[in-house]
Amino acid sequence: MTDTDGRQTSDIAPDLNAFLTSAAFALPDMVGPGTWVHHAPFAFWLVDALRPRRIAEIGTRDGASYRVLCQAARSLGPDVRLTASPCVEDFHPALLADHDARYGDLSRVLGRAPAGAADQVDDGSVDLLHVASGGASVFAPWRAKLSDRAVVTVHGFEAGPSGIGPRALWEELRARHPAFAFAHGGGLGFVAFGPHPPSAVQRFLAAAAAHPSAVRSAYRRLGSAATQPAASRPAVPPAAELPPPSVAAGVPSLHVHVAAMAPQFLEVRTHIPLAALARLPGVATSLSEKRIELPRLPKDQPKVLVLQRPAMNDLDRWRRIVDEVVGRGWILVTELDDHPDLLGAVHKVPVDDRSWRSVCLAHAAQTSTPAMAEAIRAWNPEVKAFPNAARAVVGEARRPASDGRVRVFYGALNRESFSRQVGAALAPFAAERRNVEFVVVHDRAFFEALGPCTKAFHPAQPYDGYLRLMSDCDVALMPLEGGPGERFKSDVKWVEASSFGLASVASPVVYADSVRDGVTGLLAPMLADWPAQLRRLVEDPALRAEVAGAARTEVAHGRSLAAAALARRDWYAGLWARRFHLAALLKSRTMTVV
């Protein structure tokens, strides 16, 4: 086969991992004018794959591309550094107005023309150089700054005439180095400039050479989704609907089976992520509840069993289960999303080393928070945290009720001790404001502590019913005292509420890691803060809408279910690739557990 450029291509379906990871499904935090935003998904992928130590942009104009690079680099940790060199005669800094506040710890915007700015950067230090505008003369002073693993990207060559500007630079670079071009969004050229490109770059170029149309189509469609303003993005991010190329015939699918041993009220950790995985090409899924019922599959087929919250009362029985699962060729992953200290307090059972057997006696473990992952790592170093994701995000801001009524939602399990105190603290405000209706699910202690007021009680609901009640409200309450094991809980209630456009009032315990106080929610450190913060949201509809909108946007950008599914698939596939090594480690742990 040949592509549109007349180059030979492959009939074998491409390896999606070579050019698509969960990073590509991120969305830019600001959508500005111009064509660059079409390339934001590729920039997110590139920064994640390349893991550059220094990123530089030359010819910065409106700042759109540089904001995306900063946003992408933020996830790499504190060691990455960024530098922007504006195109002085045509620099419009509007999109960089909040640069120092958001990215000043890792980035500098230089005040010189690109040639002079290069003198401020060490030779051989730049792993990723983006040419936002300009041609060979702008690029020349930066050649010496590029490392031996450097990648160069050139934007805008499709819009200019041949022989000058970005087009001339692109033509020069692609003639001398391995390269690939995207034609959409004004054109973006990708060049493996350094003599020793990282393996991720080599895999991308190989996939792009064999399947150029598939690679271009994927990023053209992702780019189209990224251009939409946050408020108009649909409920399911368009990335979730992207149909990547089908898996080649004869290539065994990755099979993921979830055995949900405690499925009630925990669909967000079982059924929902499994359904998202099932929509990915090359992934097959199955589910059993309260028992392990594995499908019969060829021993050499990639397959992973995710065992959610297994009971570990009988060690000998557990060893037999592990032996059978491993003997049938499965990777065993234990899902544990609550700390044993919390489970012990709730069920009034002692907690000791035996409480960690379920994660110790497995190839790997998964959970929902970094704190919980660190706790598990002491017992099994092969652990991954998958933050909870939103199944859907509303596309429009919530409109205040015409009668001025504000509905406040609270629903939780096993928080009665502290929720009773919060309810009592809210009681005077609740009695005073009859236009505020409290919608309470399951927690009778909180409901009674509110006293006489406008309120409605609902027993524990199936997950969809719980979400329906929440979605009809304006504000969500999330009290958490910080008792045994509680600091390891996840922020799932904030994700759920934000996805429906609710503004949140939350305890700092757990939620301070997700909520930017006054921006994406309001924090209530003390009991007296609960009525004060709720009053702010009730009496100021503009603030309520602003906080809810910011939270909704953040969840839409950073908690996409499609991106989360890709992250799970990639990790499971990696476990399978290392199955023999993991089996040896599991065997050694099994011998030491008593």
Nearest partner of 366 among 378, 382, 355, judged by Cα: 382
pLDDT score of 28: 81
Q: Where in the chain is the domain with CATH 3.40.50.150?
A: 16-229
Pick the CATH number of 254-386+561-592 from 3.30.2250, 3.40.50, 3.40.630, 1.20.120: 3.40.50
Both structure tokens of 513: 């890691």
Q: Which fold has domain 16-229?
A: Rossmann fold (3.40.50)
pLDDT score of 398: 66
pLDDT score of 216: 92
pLDDT score of 66: 87
pLDDT score of 246: 36
pLDDT score of 232: 43
Q: In terms of DSSP H, where are the helices of 242-352?
A: 271-278, 315-327, 340-347
Three-state DSSP at 160 gives coil
CA distance 343 to 328: 31
CA distance 205 to 19: 9
CA distance 128 to 492: 35
| Inter-CA distances, 248 with 4, 208, 210, 301, Å | 22, 17, 14, 15
pLDDT score of 160: 55
The amino acid that residue 594 corresponds to is V
For residue 471, count other CB atoms closer than 10 A to its CB: 17
| Inter-CA distances, 413 with 440, 442, 455, Å | 11, 7, 19
Nearest partner of 556 among 224, 278, 225, judged by Cα: 225
pLDDT score of 230: 45
| Inter-CA distances, 338 with 176, 272, 341, 368, 534, Å | 54, 18, 8, 9, 29
Local confidence pLDDT in tens for the 594 residues of the chain: 444 444 444 444 556 667 887 778 877 876 666 678 899 999 999 998 898 989 999 888 777 888 889 888 876 665 678 888 876 444 545 545 567 667 777 888 776 555 567 888 889 999 999 998 888 888 989 999 999 999 999 998 876 555 557 888 999 999 999 999 999 988 999 999 999 998 889 989 988 988 899 899 889 988 887 776 544 433 333 333 333 333 334 445 899 999 988 777 678 888 889 988 988 888 999 999 888 999 999 988 999 999 988 876 777 888 888 899 999 999 999 998 887 886 666 667 776 767 788 888 999 999 999 999 999 999 999 999 999 888 777 655 666 776 789 999 999 988 888 999 999 999 999 999 999 999 999 999 999 999 999 999 999 988 888 999 999 999 999 999 988 778 889 899 999 999 999 999 999 999 998 999 999 999 999 999 999 999 999 999 999 999 999 999 888 878 888 888 888 999 999 999 999 999 999 988 877 765
Domain 406-558 coded CATH 3.40.50.2000: yes
519-543 as b/e: b if 16+ CB within 10 A: ebbbbbeeeebbbebbebbbeeeee
Q: Where in the chain is the domain with CATH 3.40.50.2000?
A: 406-558
